[in-house]
Amino acid sequence: MAVQLIRDLLKLDQTVGKDQKEALVEGEIRLPQNKPSINKILTIDGDVEVNEIKVVKDKILVDGLVKFKVLYNGSDEKQPIHSLEASTDFKEEIMIEGITEEMTGEVISSIEHIDYSLINDSSISVKTVLEIEGKVQSNNSIDIVKEVTGTEGLQVLKEKIIYNDIIGTNKSSTIIKEAFELDEDMPDILDILRVDTKAYERETKVVDDKVIVSGIVEASIMYFGDDEDDQIKYLSYEIPFTHFVEVSGAFKDMKCNIRINSNDVYYDTKEDINGDIRIIDIESMIKINAKVYEQLESEVTVDTYSTNKKFDVKKQDVDITENIDSKEVKESINHTIELEQQESIKNIFNLNAKPIVTDYRTVEGKIIIEGLLNVDVLYQSDNAKEILNSNQQIPFNSYVDIDEINENIVLEISNVLESINYKKTSSNKIEIDSVVKSFVSVNRIKKFSLVTEAEELDEILDQKSRPSITVYVVQKGDTLWDIAKKYNSTVEEIIEANDIISPENVMPGEKIIIEKNIEFKL
């Protein structure tokens, strides 16, 4: 009977390459005509929005916006503090050798630093340092030989691989709307100075053909009120949301990676039933990226031969990234920061925090992640009407238990801020209580030489002319399979003839007896 090859198709999500770079984005912010001129800049911060990603040969093309939020002292005596929103576009390239147009790119960008200077009373020069990280993946479908059957004396060598079978990916967005009415003790609104939103994931479930994401949008509002003694007010609200991301082929309890962004915010003020400006309408665009996958094991044929006839075997060299383990760990960070200025804090207007992975290492079955929580505080002191800014870094460590750690593993680590709460504990101290969620993927790149074709030739092997006993001295790198194939024997026959207990551990210099076994047919 001729050799028969039973094939299978493996769908593999392989990371082809990744890199990160710092980019300098320069621009100019011009004051609209309806805004009073600038006397002094109080603060400038902002967000990065990546609008388009294009993978071409050996590089990722990135097109995006840096969106700025400015607070400044103006020339208007009735309202000394004003706000301004502006943006600067940027284009960057991330070089990754070996990538092509058919592959999928992913880019994450954040602001590392902003320098600014006042050109005149209506223009600001801004230099922004961005950190841009790009990763490219290839959704490969590899045609493998799963079984070889159909001839006498057939020997087949298989290896097991562990891989992530990507069920599907999808992007979805939704608009979260809410209207807030001020409490009775709050002054009426004269001007909204800024509105910030942050989206936090609370729970994610995979069900049939969709991913259900539940979370909150935290809306922080700073406004100028009609209270002469306490003009700048700050309030915060939480808006719960639940959103469905369609992923065809998803089933209950499959694994899922989620990334949530909340960059686009729209707001307006309205009158209450008494005709006073005390209602704030907020719309926030939530963008969710979801990837659903399941971890599978499969056997691939890496070699085959016959003890009776010669074979013509063709192979293909393939690098497969095996996902050994994936973990998600949460680290609570409780820390008190002391502001550099010794003045007492009157109001905390906003507190932003961003976790950064600075280093990681493996020690005795654990991955130790070292990071910094970069905290930016916007506040007002008791002795000044101007708004002040303070930036501090809080170190933290996370520990992840991993079953299999060796020198060949490749780690992918990222983290997000899951929640943050803060309160003033003394005149110039703020206690921060936050949770950082780290995602750790432990991968191992294995090189396989996979059988793609196997044909049985007409030439019959001459076993009779072989010596009855051959003594072979094991060479470095030899396996029992290599030795058996070389002498047209089988691994089982060699184990039996040599009483080998641990076939995986034959040592160089060890002597192996290969006996000639000929089947006589009557």
pLDDT tens sequence across 298-324: 888 999 998 888 888 898 888 777 777
Of the two residues 33 and 383, the one the predictor is more confident about is 33
Question: Do 345 and 261 sit in the same domain of this protein?
Answer: no
Q: 101 forms bridges with which residues in the sheet?
A: none
Q: Work out whether the CA dihedral 232, 267, 280, 273 comes out positive or negative.
A: positive
Mean predicted confidence (pLDDT) in 211-218? 93
pLDDT in tens, 235-284: 889 999 999 999 999 999 898 988 888 878 999 999 999 999 999 999 99
Q: Are residue 290 and residue 344 in the same domain, yes or no?
A: no
Please check the confidence at residue 105 and state whether its pLDDT lies above 60. Answer: yes
Give the burial class of 83: count Cβ atoms within 10 A of its Cβ; 0-12 exposed, 13-18 middle, 19 or more buried.
buried
The answer on 415 and 469 residing in a single domain is no
Q: Are residues 440 and 470 in the same domain?
A: no
Note the pLDDT of residue 387.
77
State yes or no: pLDDT of 37 exceeds 70.
Answer: yes
Number of domains comprising the chain: 4
Report residue 379's pLDDT band, with 50, 70 and 90 as the boundaries.
Answer: confident
d(CA 288, CA 270): 30
Residue 311 resides in a domain: no
Q: Is the pLDDT of residue 202 over 90?
A: no
Q: How many Cβ atoms are within 10 Å of 178's Cβ, its own excluded?
A: 16
Residues 521, 412, single domain; the answer is no
The answer to whether residue 146 is domain-embedded is no
Q: 245 is in which domain, residue-wise?
A: 166-298
Rg over alpha carbons for the chain, rounded to the nearest Å, is 32
Q: Which pLDDT score is estimated for 341?
A: 67
- Is 158 part of any domain? no
> Do both 398 and 470 map to the same domain?
no
Q: Looking at 141, 175, 197, which one is the last position of a domain? A: 141
Residues 77 and 39 in one domain: yes
Judge if 115 and 185 occupy the same domain.
no
Q: How far is CA 6 from the centre of its chain?
A: 37
Q: Residues of the chain with pLDDT > 90: what percent?
A: 42
* Domain at 502, CATH number: 3.10.350.10
Query: 141, 174, 191: which is the final residue of a domain?
Result: 141
Evaluate whether residue 7 is within a structural domain: no
In a domain, 304, yes or no: no
Task: Calculate the average pLDDT of the chain.
Answer: 87
Half-sphere exposure of 303 (CA within 13 A, CB side): 9
The encoded tokens of residue 383 equal 């002795």
Q: What was the pLDDT predicted at 215?
A: 92
Residues 379 and 350 in one domain: yes
Most confident region among 100-104, 106-110, 271-275 by mean pLDDT: 271-275
Which of 141, 156, 184 represents a domain boundary (last residue)?
141
Q: For residues 488 and 476, is the Cβ–Cβ distance under 8 A?
A: no
Do 32 and 126 belong together in one domain? Answer: yes
Check pLDDT > 60 for residue 519: no
Residue % of the chain over a pLDDT of 70: 95
pLDDT of residue 396: 93
Sign of the CA dihedral with 350 first, then 283, 211, and 236 last: positive
By the 8 A CB rule, do 349 and 379 touch? Answer: yes
pLDDT category at 522 given cuts 50, 70, 90 is very low
- CB within 8 A of 395, min separation 6: which ones? 370, 371, 372, 373
pLDDT of 452 over the 50 cut: yes
Q: What is the pTM of this model?
A: 0.76
Q: How far is CA 178 from the centre of its chain?
A: 30
- Residue 435 sits in the same domain as residue 479: no
CA angle in degrees (0–180, nearest 5) for 244-247-253: 85
- Highest mean pLDDT among 129-133, 160-164, 375-379 belongs to 129-133
Q: What is the pLDDT of residue 407?
A: 61
Please say if the pLDDT value at position 128 is more than 90.
yes
CA gap 133, 108 in Å, rounded? 5
Say if residue 34 is exposed, middle or buried (CB neighbours under 10 Å; 0-12, 13-18, 19+): exposed
Q: Which whole number is the average pLDDT over 142-167?
A: 85
pLDDT at 226 over 50: yes
CA distances (Å), 435 to each of 217, 328, 353, in order? 16, 13, 11
Note every long-range contact of 493-501, with CB atoms under 8 Å and residues 24 or more positions apart, other chains counting.
493/517
Q: Is residue 402 a part of any domain in this protein?
A: yes
For every residue of 25-64, DSSP letters joined together read EEEEEE--TTSPPEEEEEEEEEEEEEEEEEEETTEEEEEE
Question: Is residue 336 predicted with pLDDT exceeding 80?
Answer: yes
The reply to whether 483 falls in a domain is yes
For residue 369, give the amino acid letter. I
Instruction: Name the band, by pLDDT with cuts 50, 70 and 90, for residue 475.
Output: very high
Residue 72 lies in a domain: yes
pLDDT, average across residues 363-391: 82
Helix (H, G, I), strand (E, B) or coil at 120: strand
Average pLDDT rounded to a whole number, residues 162-181: 89
Are 439 and 467 part of one and the same domain?
no
